[in-house]
Protein backbone atom coordinates (compact mmCIF):
# COMPACT_ATOMS: atom_id res chain seq x y z
CA UNK A 1 0.00 0.00 0.00
CA UNK A 2 1.39 3.38 -0.98
CA UNK A 3 1.35 6.20 1.58
CA UNK A 4 1.19 9.89 0.74
CA UNK A 5 2.58 12.78 2.75
CA UNK A 6 3.15 16.46 2.33
CA UNK A 7 6.40 18.18 3.23
CA UNK A 8 5.87 21.00 5.72
CA UNK A 9 9.41 22.30 6.36
CA UNK A 10 12.77 21.71 4.75
CA UNK A 11 16.15 22.76 6.13
CA UNK A 12 18.72 24.47 3.91
CA UNK A 13 21.04 21.45 3.59
CA UNK A 14 18.10 19.17 2.78
CA UNK A 15 16.87 21.72 0.26
CA UNK A 16 20.26 21.80 -1.47
CA UNK A 17 20.44 18.00 -1.62
CA UNK A 18 16.92 17.72 -3.02
CA UNK A 19 16.77 20.78 -5.27
CA UNK A 20 17.11 18.82 -8.49
CA UNK A 21 15.89 15.47 -9.73
CA UNK A 22 18.24 13.00 -8.04
CA UNK A 23 18.35 9.37 -6.99
CA UNK A 24 19.62 7.94 -3.72
CA UNK A 25 18.73 5.34 -1.15
CA UNK A 26 17.38 4.93 2.35
CA UNK A 27 20.37 4.92 4.67
CA UNK A 28 18.69 4.14 8.01
CA UNK A 29 15.20 3.85 9.48
CA UNK A 30 13.99 4.85 12.94
CA UNK A 31 10.62 5.18 14.63
CA UNK A 32 10.15 8.91 13.93
CA UNK A 33 12.52 9.48 11.01
CA UNK A 34 14.51 7.90 8.25
CA UNK A 35 17.70 9.07 6.61
CA UNK A 36 18.41 9.08 2.92
CA UNK A 37 21.73 9.38 1.19
CA UNK A 38 21.62 11.56 -1.93
CA UNK A 39 24.88 12.13 -3.81
CA UNK A 40 26.86 11.74 -0.58
CA UNK A 41 24.58 14.04 1.44
CA UNK A 42 22.54 12.75 4.37
CA UNK A 43 18.97 14.05 4.58
CA UNK A 44 16.59 13.25 7.41
CA UNK A 45 12.93 12.76 6.58
CA UNK A 46 10.73 13.00 9.64
CA UNK A 47 7.14 12.77 10.71
CA UNK A 48 5.51 15.86 12.21
CA UNK A 49 6.54 16.75 15.72
CA UNK A 50 10.24 16.20 15.07
CA UNK A 51 12.48 19.23 15.55
CA UNK A 52 13.46 21.19 12.49
CA UNK A 53 17.12 21.11 11.54
CA UNK A 54 19.25 22.09 8.55
CA UNK A 55 19.30 18.51 7.23
CA UNK A 56 15.66 17.61 7.88
CA UNK A 57 12.57 17.47 5.74
CA UNK A 58 9.58 17.52 8.10
CA UNK A 59 6.38 15.97 6.76
CA UNK A 60 2.76 15.94 7.84
CA UNK A 61 2.95 12.25 8.77
CA UNK A 62 1.19 12.20 12.15
CA UNK A 63 3.22 11.60 15.33
CA UNK A 64 1.09 8.52 16.00
CA UNK A 65 2.49 6.85 12.86
CA UNK A 66 5.86 5.13 13.06
CA UNK A 67 8.10 5.14 10.01
CA UNK A 68 8.69 1.37 9.75
CA UNK A 69 4.91 0.84 9.58
CA UNK A 70 4.93 2.88 6.36
CA UNK A 71 7.06 0.18 4.76
CA UNK A 72 10.24 2.27 4.55
CA UNK A 73 13.27 -0.03 4.62
CA UNK A 74 17.03 0.45 4.51
CA UNK A 75 18.40 0.24 0.97
CA UNK A 76 15.18 1.33 -0.77
CA UNK A 77 15.62 3.60 -3.75
CA UNK A 78 14.71 7.25 -3.23
CA UNK A 79 14.06 9.57 -6.16
CA UNK A 80 13.30 13.25 -6.44
CA UNK A 81 10.99 13.63 -9.42
CA UNK A 82 9.51 17.02 -10.15
CA UNK A 83 8.05 18.24 -6.85
CA UNK A 84 7.88 14.80 -5.22
CA UNK A 85 10.17 12.51 -3.27
CA UNK A 86 9.44 8.86 -4.01
CA UNK A 87 10.59 6.26 -1.49
CA UNK A 88 10.48 2.88 -3.16
CA UNK A 89 6.89 2.05 -3.97
CA UNK A 90 5.70 2.76 -0.42
CA UNK A 91 5.83 6.51 0.17
CA UNK A 92 5.34 9.63 -1.91
CA UNK A 93 6.11 13.02 -0.36
CA UNK A 94 4.88 16.17 -2.06
CA UNK A 95 7.27 19.12 -1.93
CA UNK A 96 4.63 21.53 -3.20
CA UNK A 97 4.45 24.61 -0.95
CA UNK A 98 7.14 23.29 1.44
CA UNK A 99 8.49 26.07 3.67
CA UNK A 100 12.25 26.59 3.69
CA UNK A 101 13.29 26.70 7.33
CA UNK A 102 16.41 28.60 8.34
CA UNK A 103 17.78 28.55 11.86
CA UNK A 104 17.66 31.86 13.65
CA UNK A 105 21.02 33.42 14.28
CA UNK A 106 21.98 35.70 17.09
CA UNK A 107 23.94 37.98 14.81
CA UNK A 108 22.38 41.39 14.96
CA UNK A 109 25.00 43.34 13.04
CA UNK A 110 28.47 43.03 11.57
CA UNK A 111 31.30 43.97 13.87
CA UNK A 112 33.86 46.50 12.75
CA UNK A 113 37.58 45.74 12.77
CA UNK A 114 38.16 47.79 15.93
CA UNK A 115 35.56 45.87 17.91
CA UNK A 116 36.85 42.53 16.63
CA UNK A 117 40.40 43.49 17.62
CA UNK A 118 39.19 44.59 21.06
CA UNK A 119 37.29 41.32 21.57
CA UNK A 120 40.29 39.24 20.47
CA UNK A 121 42.49 41.17 22.89
CA UNK A 122 40.04 40.54 25.70
CA UNK A 123 39.88 36.82 24.87
CA UNK A 124 43.67 36.64 24.77
CA UNK A 125 44.02 38.36 28.16
CA UNK A 126 41.37 36.14 29.74
CA UNK A 127 43.00 32.98 28.38
CA UNK A 128 46.46 34.12 29.51
CA UNK A 129 45.21 34.98 33.00
CA UNK A 130 43.45 31.62 33.37
CA UNK A 131 46.17 29.45 31.84
CA UNK A 132 48.33 29.01 34.92
CA UNK A 133 51.90 27.78 34.87
CA UNK A 134 51.33 24.44 33.13
CA UNK A 135 51.59 23.54 29.45
CA UNK A 136 51.67 26.13 26.69
CA UNK A 137 49.29 28.59 28.34
CA UNK A 138 52.15 30.89 29.32
CA UNK A 139 52.81 31.57 25.65
CA UNK A 140 49.43 33.25 25.20
CA UNK A 141 50.83 36.50 26.61
CA UNK A 142 53.35 36.49 23.77
CA UNK A 143 51.13 35.33 20.91
CA UNK A 144 51.57 38.53 18.88
CA UNK A 145 55.36 38.25 18.94
CA UNK A 146 55.22 34.52 18.16
CA UNK A 147 52.81 35.13 15.26
CA UNK A 148 55.27 37.68 13.88
CA UNK A 149 58.04 35.09 14.07
CA UNK A 150 59.89 36.91 16.86
CA UNK A 151 61.34 35.35 19.99
CA UNK A 152 59.71 36.99 23.04
CA UNK A 153 61.95 38.22 25.83
CA UNK A 154 60.86 36.10 28.76
CA UNK A 155 62.65 34.05 31.36
CA UNK A 156 59.73 32.71 33.37
CA UNK A 157 58.52 29.96 31.01
CA UNK A 158 57.98 26.41 32.22
CA UNK A 159 59.90 23.53 30.64
CA UNK A 160 57.16 22.66 28.13
CA UNK A 161 56.63 26.23 26.92
CA UNK A 162 60.38 26.86 26.72
CA UNK A 163 60.88 23.73 24.59
CA UNK A 164 57.94 24.47 22.29
CA UNK A 165 58.61 28.16 21.73
CA UNK A 166 61.40 27.89 19.11
CA UNK A 167 59.41 25.27 17.20
CA UNK A 168 56.30 27.46 17.19
CA UNK A 169 58.29 30.37 15.85
CA UNK A 170 59.72 28.13 13.12
CA UNK A 171 56.16 27.12 12.16
CA UNK A 172 55.06 30.69 11.52
CA UNK A 173 58.18 31.77 9.62
Write the pLDDT tens digit of every residue in 55-70: 999 999 999 999 999 9
d(CA 84, CA 44): 15
pTM above 0.85, yes or no: no
Q: Residues 24-54: pLDDT tens digits?
A: 999 999 999 999 999 989 999 999 999 999 9
Pairing of the two strands 77-81 and 91-94: unpaired
**Alpha-carbon 28 to chain mean position:** 19
Tell me the C-alpha distance between 98 and 164, whole Å.
55
From the number of C-beta atoms within 10 Å of its C-beta (0-12, 13-18, 19+), residue 153 rates as exposed
**What pLDDT score was predicted for residue 144?**
83
Q: What is the mean pLDDT of residues 139-167?
A: 85
Break the chain into its structural domains and give their ranges.
3-100, 113-172
Amino acid sequence: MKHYAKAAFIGPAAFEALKKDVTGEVHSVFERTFNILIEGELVGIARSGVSRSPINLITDIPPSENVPSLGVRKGMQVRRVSNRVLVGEVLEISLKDVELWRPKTRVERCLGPELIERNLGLAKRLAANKSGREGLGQLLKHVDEIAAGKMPQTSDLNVVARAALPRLIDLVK
